[in-house]
Amino acid sequence: MTQVSATAPQPWWQNGIIYQIYPLTFADANGDGIGDLQGITQRLDYLNDGNPNSETALGIDAIWLSPINTSPMVDNGYDVSDYTDICPTFGTLEDFDELLAQAHHRGIKIILDLVVSHSSDQHPWFVESASNRDNPRADWYLWQDPMEGREYPNNWRSYFGGTGWTYSEAREQFYFHTFHANQPDFNWQNPEVRAAIDQVIRFWLDRGVDGFRLDASSAYSKDIYFRDNPMKYGASDPNDYHSYNHLYDKNLPENHRIIEEIRATLDEYDNRLLIGETFIDSSLYESIGFYGITNNELHLPFNFEFPFSPWYPGYLQRQVEKTERLTPPSAWPNYFLDNHDIPRHLSRWIECSLCVDSEAIAKAAAALLLTVRGTPILYYGQELGMVDHTEIPPQKLQDRAVIKVDAGEDAPLPRDGARTPMQWDGSPQAGFSFGQDVEPWLPVHPNYPELNVKAALTDEQSIFNFYRQLIQVRRQSPALRWGKWRPLIHYPHEHLVYLREAEDEMVLVAINFNYELPLTLDVPVRRENWQVLLSTCHATGKVIDLAEALQSFEVSILRQI
Ligand code: GLC
Read off the CATH number of the domain in which 405 is found: 3.20.20.80
Q: Which atom of ligand 1 is nearest to the CA of 341?
A: 9
- Domain assignment of residue 7, yes or no: no
> What is the rounded distance in angstroms from the CA atom of residue 59 to the CA atom of residue 17?
8
Distance of CA 157 to the CA centre of its chain: 24
**Radius of gyration of the chain, Cα coordinates, nearest whole angstrom:** 24
Domain with 522, as residue range(s), is 483-560
Q: Which atom of ligand 1 is nearest to the CA of 117?
A: 12
Q: According to the model, what pLDDT value does residue 96 have? A: 98
Q: Is 301 helix (H, G, I), strand (E, B) or coil?
A: strand
DSSP 8-state class, residue 230: P
Choose the residue to mutate in 22, 183, 341 for probing ligand 1, maximizing ligand atoms within 8 Å of C-beta.
Answer: 341
- Which residue's alpha carbon is nearest to atom 7 within ligand 1? 216
> What is the rounded distance in angstroms from the CA atom of residue 346 to the CA atom of residue 386?
8
Please tell me whether residues 443 and 524 are part of one structural domain: no
Whole-number Å distance, alpha carbon 77 to ligand 1 midpoint, is 9
> What is the rounded distance in angstroms from the CA atom of residue 180 to the CA atom of residue 77?
13
| SS3 per residue for 350-380 | HHHCCCCCHHHHHHHHHHHHHHCCCEEEEEC
- Domain assignment of residue 121, yes or no: no
Please tell me whether residues 432 and 525 are part of one structural domain: no
Q: According to the model, what pLDDT value does residue 242 have? A: 92
Q: According to the model, what pLDDT value does residue 9 have? A: 61
Of 319, 315, 264, residue with least CA distance to 287: 319
Whole-number Å distance, alpha carbon 358 to ligand 1 midpoint, is 28
Q: According to the model, what pLDDT value does residue 29 have? A: 98
Q: According to the model, what pLDDT value does residue 517 have? A: 76
- Domain assignment of residue 133, yes or no: no
**Is the alpha carbon torsion for 99, 334, 557, 357 positive or negative?**
positive
Predicted confidence pLDDT, tens digits, the chain (561 residues): 334 444 556 899 999 999 999 999 999 999 999 999 999 999 999 999 999 999 999 999 999 999 999 999 999 999 999 999 999 999 999 999 999 999 999 999 999 999 999 999 999 999 999 999 999 999 999 999 999 999 999 999 999 999 999 999 999 999 999 999 999 999 999 999 999 999 999 999 999 999 999 999 999 999 999 999 999 999 999 999 999 999 999 999 999 999 999 999 999 999 999 999 997 767 888 899 999 999 999 999 999 999 999 999 999 999 999 999 999 988 999 999 999 999 999 999 887 666 668 899 999 999 999 999 999 999 999 999 999 999 999 999 999 998 754 545 566 789 999 999 999 999 999 999 999 999 999 999 999 999 999 999 999 999 999 999 999 999 999 999 999 999 999 888 889 999 999 999 999 999 998 877 788 888 889 999 999 999 999 999 999 999 888 888 899 999 999
> What is the rounded distance in angstroms from the CA atom of residue 537 to the CA atom of residue 555?
7
β pairing state of 505-512 and 495-502: antiparallel
Q: Which atom of ligand 1 is nearest to the CA of 402?
A: 10
Please tell me whether residues 366 and 507 are part of one structural domain: no
The letter for the amino acid at 320 is: V
> What is the rounded distance in angstroms from the CA atom of residue 162 to the CA atom of residue 180?
9
- Domain count across the chain: 2
- Domain assignment of residue 137, yes or no: no
The set of catalytic residues is: 215, 268
Q: Which atom of ligand 1 is nearest to the CA of 115?
A: 12
Whole-number Å distance, alpha carbon 181 to ligand 1 midpoint, is 13
Residues written for the chain: 561
Please tell me whether residues 308 and 411 are part of one structural domain: yes
Please tell me whether residues 348 and 467 are part of one structural domain: yes
- Which residue's alpha carbon is nearest to atom 2 within ligand 1? 215
Please tell me whether residues 281 and 425 are part of one structural domain: yes
Choose the residue to mutate in 64, 78, 277, 340 for probing ligand 1, maximizing ligand atoms within 8 Å of C-beta.
Answer: 78
- pTM score above 0.85: yes
Please tell me whether residues 446 and 517 are part of one structural domain: no
Please tell me whether residues 295 and 401 are part of one structural domain: yes
Whole-number Å distance, alpha carbon 499 to ligand 1 midpoint, is 36
Whole-number Å distance, alpha carbon 338 to ligand 1 midpoint, is 14
Q: According to the model, what pLDDT value does residue 6 have? A: 47
Distances (CA, A) of 141 to 73, 82, 194, 253: 20, 16, 12, 19
| SS3 per residue for 78-111 | CCCCEEEEECCCCCCHHHHHHHHHHHHHCCCEEE
- Domain assignment of residue 152, yes or no: no
Show which of 412, 439, 471 is a domain's final residue: 471
Q: Which atom of ligand 1 is nearest to the CA of 339?
A: 8
Q: According to the model, what pLDDT value does residue 279 have? A: 74
Please tell me whether residues 288 and 400 are part of one structural domain: yes
Please return the burial class of 322, using the count of CB atoms within 10 Å of its CB with bins 0-12, 13-18 and 19+. middle
Ligand 1 proximal residues by C-beta, below 6 Å = 75, 78, 115, 179, 215-216, 277, 340-341, 401
DSSP states of 129-159 as a string?
HHH-TTSTTTTSB-EE---TT-SSSS-PBPT
Please tell me whether residues 494 and 435 are part of one structural domain: no
- Domain assignment of residue 92, yes or no: yes
Q: According to the model, what pLDDT value does residue 427 have? A: 97
Whole-number Å distance, alpha carbon 330 to ligand 1 midpoint, is 29
